[in-house]
Structure 1
Amino acid sequence: MCGIAGIFHVQTAKPVDEGRVRAMLAPMAYRGPDGTGAWTGPGVGFGHLRLSIIDLGGGAQPMQTAEGDVTVTYNGEIYNYRELRAELEARGHVFHTESDTEVILHGWRQWGEACVEHLHGMFALALYDARTQSLWLARDRFGVKPLHYASLSDGGLIFASEMKGLLAHPAMRREPELSAVEDYLAFGYVPDDTSIVKGVKKLGAGETLLVVRGRPLPAPRRYWDISFADREKGRQEDLEDELLARLRDAVRSRMVADVPLGAFLSGGVDSSTVVALMAEVSSQPVKTCTIGFDVAALDETDYAERIARRFGTDHRTRIVSPDDYGLIDTIAGHFDEPFADASALPTYRVCELARENVTVALSGDGADEGFAGYRRHLFQHREEMIRRLIPGPVRRGLFGTLGSLYPKADWAPRFLRAKSTFQGLAADGAEAYAASVSITPAAIRAQLFTDEAKAAFNGHRAEDRYIKAMRDAPTRDSIDRAQYADLKIWLPGDILTKTDRMSMAVSLEAREPLLDHRLIEFAARLPVRQRIHGKSGKYLLKKTMEDMLPMDILYRQKMGFVTPISDWFRGALASEARAIAGGSALARTEWFDMRRIARLAEAHRNGTSDHGRLLWQLVMLDKSLGRLFGLG
């Protein structure tokens, strides 16, 4: 796990200043505290920050072939590198280290661009081939590891693990992308297909980019996609056996490390599954860690401790206050772009705790997206059943009327909050699901922006990318389409961005065995009834683990990391809410109706409305704009 950066002159092989490459690495130093390397060649320069995990003495980067014609800098882990090495050695390749990095070099020599299809793991890499004067960028299938790039006015192409690496280059302009602000307010993160800084691009999950000197910059090429178009057949018992075998293989392959390794343990289905399977193959007690809260309704430590006792793990728990708002500036600095998933705060704390004992930690990320584990998946499935029963014109008329008349009742018990359900049933499935993943509805966003800002959007609407992804998806069923869009948009944009930035902030490598691409491909082929069954999502996963995990662990209501942001803005962060409506970075942009924002903040503080999540989004946006564009 590392950080990378580099410069490539696309048209002419102008000299590259090594000091400039190192300057791009400097703001990301926490990604690789164990070593720094830089290399320059004609018109190209690579930099690398190393967090040593495998081949501690021999895996330094940037790394070259013995002939010096191919150079790579790389962030991530290739879990099948030993198998690939054996295959390549059988083909006559000679290795000089024990690292997975060298496998990439020889894989390129053997298969060219197709080598990426042989790599199983998480990775963002840059490779220079002197024979063809070409730069090749590649990112793993799900986007676990980030890779940003941008074209400069001097003809250079720069890349880095994080945006701050690009911004350290003196020729990188800082101009805001207003449409990305609309996207952020909709989702709470800036999706991978855009950026808050104009000209900055993110290589997409499952994409490569081959740039040949002297030729125009091409579009990225997609080398992998997930398909829900086929279905597994056979008895449930056979599917359980196959799933368990795939789970075991995914976990086992991610336990290879030359440094201390452990796992996050929340006591939920996903992390408990990972820990159970780690314990099966570990000769030593698995090192686990849990963050608990001093508010009983938010605390899951009892569940985690039960799993720890069951599998004899070396378990550590730390209780923190959910009022951890003191981390706001630290969090904002690590994300660069605005990021409003408040679970980033406890994620930072659990990574911090893990790093005290281990360098690598396995997480349960990915199971909800792959096996339909979110409540919104269950709602989408049920709503689609109703849509199929009622003709469109009747449904739109009936539920559209009910949705407009029913009061918005955020304060009420969940079963009484029917307004959004009626509105969703009036729309088609893609429109309704896109609205369900939007944390600030389009109607409210429209009230926040000035008329000039809305005109500048030129018809852009954040939800449209979800709708398009669902309508173009290789799928059979509505729940397939929802999962596909989540895997393509929500997973890399929110979940994996959060885990990468928060783990790297404390120099910890996080690995996601439940995102093994072969495992997720199998999950995508499962019949819908094996994913959603009655009131339960992740059905086959839970059934498969019934012999290993307690029933109340498997079937209890999902909690997740919770932070009381609404309370914060009526207490300790009330001054932050007031500042947003005053002399803030938001006010200086002239994009927002500040009087409207002031009224929202006041209504929240006096308790007449709950705008806590929106205020959190605005605060994090304010801090990001201030840092990026000097508006603070």
Structure 2
Amino acid sequence: MCRIFGSFAVGATGPELAAVSARQRHGGPDQRGVLRGPGWSLGCDRLAVTDPVGGAQPYRLAAVPGVLAVLNGELYNHAELRRRLAARGHRFPDACDGSLLPALYAEYGTAFAEHLDGMFAVAVLDLRSRPQLVLAVDDMGMKPLHYHLAAGGAESGAIRFASEIAGLLAFDGVPAVLREDALDTVLATRTALGTQTALEGIRVLPPGATAVLRRGEPLRVRQRTPRTAAPAGDARDVLRHEVRRLARTGSPLCAITSGGLDSGLVTALAAEEVREAGGGPLHTFHLSYRGRWPAAEHEYARAVARRARTAHHHIAVDPAEFGSLLTRTVRHLGQPNADPIALSTYALFRAVREAGFTVALTGDGADELFGGYDRVRAALAAPAGSDWITPYVDALGAAPRLLRDRLYTPAYRAYLAERGSAADRVTAELRAHAKEDGADRITTLTRFETRRRLPAYHLRRVDHLSMAWAVEARMPFCQPSVAGYARGLPTSARDGKRALYEAGRGLLPAAVLRRPKQPFTLPVAAMLTAGSPLLDTVGELLSPARLRRSGRLRADRVQALLARQLATPSDGDALALWAIAVHELWTEVVQGMRVPAGCAA
């Protein structure tokens, strides 16, 4: 698990690469490796999990001269690949998973990623007769890779890439230009979905993509056929297999236990594996907030921990810390994400690392694969022939369309009418897919939830905020066998996660199985009230003078919305205000990322 970066068809200076590395060093504090030459560079900041003694990056093999590789992630099938490659005559200097990448590339060329099972972002630099750069990310997009491709001038075709936007912006040739439609994107879809980010010219590889670049040629991005697995047994059997596989690590392991169904299943099955392996009790972590807040889940989390017999850690964050936590969270994410859970996630992984744990199992991905969201259930329940897409898209946003239109200035509304809003683009995409899929709404919805929203909204957040504290987050639900099992279920079993509730019977407390669905998040509606420390931070970010400078929002109407929230707190108003505040803070933070190399944040 690491942070990677590099360039191709353009050189980079030593100080420039040091600045990029410094921006991402939090995710790879154990070892730094950088190589550069005429027109290329490749670097890695390593978090040593597999074979901590070996595994120096960039990876090189004497038998494959001219091929270099760097890896962010974990390759769960590296032992199997190592045996296969050894049978073909390859030898390796250590037992690190990524050390086999040059040999795998030598055998399969640009198709090497089709043989990888895990979460990964990989860069392979082939400096032989026809130099090329090959980038690849895993099928679910658990490990993101951001890049900037120069469009013209002397650097036309030059590419720079990095695990995080902050690192990418430390390259001299990458500008920090905010997209004009970023505010609408945050309010309409909560974050930038798909390959586009909130910054002009900075993109992220889509899930399951391999990109190839040769000098003088355009970047070619190919979607690989997703890995398929033949699931055996029911949901519990399939999930147990993946939890056990991912729980095997030589590094300190824990689980994130929110008190809900998804993390509860992972916790219960991981505790089984740890006990059977003779490793003592599994450690579990749950985060809450000091004081009395609505929808607290710590009692449910304790019940899961008691049932699974774990060593449970209940972390209570002081709300007075929220202002500083929010700034650090936004900086690590690199682009705005309107989900208040981001602040909670950052604080939770901080506690995990401070307790001495390097690997954490989480329950992310279950809702997308097994139809857990209310918006999905409502879309499936809509009568045949009705417009289920419009309300579904509205439910994706931090603010409904009518509220967005009311808050935008006339000039910004006109701009969006001409260019198209984020919601309009999502609507058009869903209508096109619904036409292809016919009456099979679950296929349309699952495709969008897993291929577009999950990587951008959830997985990027988990990656960035776990790695902010050098913690490797492993996600059993995002493995090919679980995804394949979910796709093969009838609609009735995927509506409302029925297959997972059945899997939880006998494993989880009845109270957890009976409770209403509730996401792990920050109770922002209750915290945006008079006297709350969070109100001061949000109020400052929503000051009329600040909003008027951008020309996108009606400052008077934002203030009226804030007054309504203070008079009658509601989840909807609070989320809209939170999203605007996050966007405003992000614009300030990202502008500060374009600093001299010696001052990298």
Q: Could you say whether these structures have the same fold, taking a TM-score greater than 0.5 normalized by the shorter chain as the test?
A: yes
Q: Aligned to 2:422, what secondary structure does the other structure show?
A: coil
Indicate the residue corresponding to 1:382 in structure 2: 381
Alpha carbons 1:574, 1:605 under 8 Å: kept:
no
Q: Aligned to 1:64, what secondary structure does the other structure show?
A: coil
Evaluate the alpha carbon distance shift between residue 324 and residue 556 of structure 1 in structure 2; reply closer, same or farther with a 3 A threshold: farther
Alpha carbons 1:80, 1:121 under 8 Å: kept:
yes
Higher mean C-alpha displacement, 15-24 vs 318-327: 318-327
Indicate the residue corresponding to 2:5 in structure 1: 5
What is the Cα deviation at residue 225 of structure 1?
A: 5.0
Indicate the residue corresponding to 2:561 in structure 1: 600
Distance between the aligned counterparts of 1:19 and 1:608, measured in 2? 50
Q: Which of 162, 165, 170 is the matching residue for 1:163?
A: 165
One-letter identity of the residue aligned with 2:506? D
Indicate the residue corresponding to 1:125 in structure 2: 122
Evaluate the alpha carbon distance shift between residue 83 and residue 498 of structure 1 in structure 2; reply closer, same or farther with a 3 A threshold: same
Alpha carbons 1:70, 1:128 under 8 Å: kept:
yes
What is the Cα deviation at residue 611 of structure 1?
A: 2.3
What is the Cα deviation at residue 631 of structure 1?
A: 12
Q: Which of 621, 624, 630 is the matching residue for 2:583?
A: 621
One-letter identity of the residue aligned with 1:333? R
Indicate the residue corresponding to 1:276 in structure 2: 268
Summarize deviations over 1:162-219 as a string: whole Å, max 9, x none. Answer: 111111122222222112321111122122332221111111111111001122333x
Indicate the residue corresponding to 1:144 in structure 2: 142
Q: TM-score under structure 2 normalisation?
A: 0.89
Alpha carbons 2:169, 2:593 under 8 Å: kept:
no
Alpha carbons 1:323, 1:563 under 8 Å: kept:
no
Percent identity over the alignment is 32
Q: Which of 521, 531, 553 is the matching residue for 2:512?
A: 553
Q: Aligned to 1:298, what secondary structure does the other structure show?
A: coil
Summarize deviations over 1:2-61 as a string: whole Å, max 9, x none. Answer: 11111111xxxx644233222211111101111111011331101111111001111111
Q: Aligned to 1:241, what secondary structure does the other structure show?
A: coil
Alpha carbons 1:80, 1:253 under 8 Å: kept:
no
Residue 484 in structure 1 maps to residue 447 in structure 2: yes
Evaluate the alpha carbon distance shift between residue 242 and residue 86 of structure 1 in structure 2; reply closer, same or farther with a 3 A threshold: farther
Alpha carbons 1:262, 1:287 under 8 Å: kept:
yes
Summarize deviations over 1:592-626 as a string: whole Å, max 9, x none. Answer: 22233233233333449862211111111111111
Distance between the aligned counterparts of 1:432 and 1:481, measured in 2? 15
Q: Which of 54, 58, 66 is the matching residue for 1:62?
A: 58
Distance between the aligned counterparts of 1:627 and 1:8, measured in 2? 28
What is the Cα deviation at residue 377 of structure 1?
A: 2.2
One-letter identity of the residue aligned with 1:53? V
Indicate the residue corresponding to 2:223 in structure 1: 222
Residue 207 in structure 1 maps to residue 169 in structure 2: no
Indicate the residue corresponding to 2:599 in structure 1: none
Indicate the residue corresponding to 1:412 in structure 2: none
Summarize deviations over 1:273-314 as a string: whole Å, max 9, x none. Answer: 112222222222212111234436432222222222223222
What is the Cα deviation at residue 143 of structure 1?
A: 1.1
Distance between the aligned counterparts of 1:259 and 1:202, measured in 2? 30
Q: Aligned to 2:268, what secondary structure does the other structure show?
A: helix
Distance between the aligned counterparts of 1:501 and 1:364, measured in 2? 16
Alpha carbons 1:322, 1:563 under 8 Å: kept:
no
Distance between the aligned counterparts of 1:188 and 1:91, measured in 2? 48
What is the Cα deviation at residue 568 of structure 1?
A: 3.4
Q: Aligned to 1:561, what secondary structure does the other structure show?
A: coil
Distance between the aligned counterparts of 1:631 and 1:583, measured in 2? 25
Indicate the residue corresponding to 1:333 in structure 2: 331
Distance between the aligned counterparts of 1:173 and 1:241, measured in 2? 51
Q: Which of 238, 248, 251 is the matching residue for 2:243?
A: 251
Distance between the aligned counterparts of 1:483 and 1:88, measured in 2? 36
One-letter identity of the residue aligned with 2:420? H
Higher mean C-alpha displacement, 254-263 vs 599-608: 599-608
Indicate the residue corresponding to 2:598 in structure 1: none
Q: Aligned to 1:211, what secondary structure does the other structure show?
A: strand
Summarize deviations over 1:258-279 as a string: whole Å, max 9, x none. Answer: 2111111122211121122222
Distance between the aligned counterparts of 1:611 and 1:176, measured in 2? 25
Evaluate the alpha carbon distance shift between residue 339 and residue 77 of structure 1 in structure 2; reply closer, same or farther with a 3 A threshold: same
Q: Which of 72, 75, 91 is the matching residue for 1:75?
A: 72
Alpha-carbon RMSD: 2.5
What is the Cα deviation at residue 246 of structure 1?
A: 2.0
One-letter identity of the residue aligned with 2:139? R
Alpha carbons 1:332, 1:620 under 8 Å: kept:
yes
Indicate the residue corresponding to 2:597 in structure 1: none
User: Matches of residues 117-516 of structure 1 in structure 2 within 5 Å?
Assistant: 117-131=114-128, 132-152=130-150, 153-155=153-155, 156-218=158-220, 220-224=221-225, 241-282=233-274, 283-284=278-279, 285-293=281-289, 294-295=291-292, 297-321=294-318, 325-326=322-323, 327-355=325-353, 356-383=355-382, 387-388=383-384, 428-457=387-416, 458-470=418-430, 471-472=432-433, 475=437, 477-516=440-479
Distance between the aligned counterparts of 2:513 and 2:381, measured in 1? 22
What is the Cα deviation at residue 469 of structure 1?
A: 4.1
Evaluate the alpha carbon distance shift between residue 479 and residue 127 of structure 1 in structure 2; reply closer, same or farther with a 3 A threshold: same
Distance between the aligned counterparts of 1:560 and 1:523, measured in 2? 21
Distance between the aligned counterparts of 2:97 and 2:161, measured in 1? 22
Q: State the number of aligned residues.
A: 573
Distance between the aligned counterparts of 2:104 and 2:260, measured in 1? 39
Alpha carbons 1:207, 1:224 under 8 Å: kept:
no
What is the Cα deviation at residue 503 of structure 1?
A: 0.8
Alpha carbons 1:28, 1:164 under 8 Å: kept:
yes
Evaluate the alpha carbon distance shift between residue 573 and residue 353 of structure 1 in structure 2; reply closer, same or farther with a 3 A threshold: closer
Evaluate the alpha carbon distance shift between residue 551 and residue 226 of structure 1 in structure 2; reply closer, same or farther with a 3 A threshold: farther
Evaluate the alpha carbon distance shift between residue 516 and residue 579 of structure 1 in structure 2; reply closer, same or farther with a 3 A threshold: same
Q: TM-score under structure 1 normalisation?
A: 0.85
One-letter identity of the residue aligned with 2:481? R
Higher mean C-alpha displacement, 275-284 vs 567-576: 567-576
One-letter identity of the residue aligned with 2:84? E
Distance between the aligned counterparts of 1:36 and 1:348, measured in 2? 24
Higher mean C-alpha displacement, 172-181 vs 447-456: 447-456
Please list every run of 5 or more consecutive structure 2 residues that lacks an aligned counterpart in the other structure.
595-601
Summarize deviations over 1:121-145 as a string: whole Å, max 9, x none. Answer: 1111111011220001111111111
Q: Greater relative contact order (Cα 8 A, min sep 6): structure 1 or 2?
A: 2
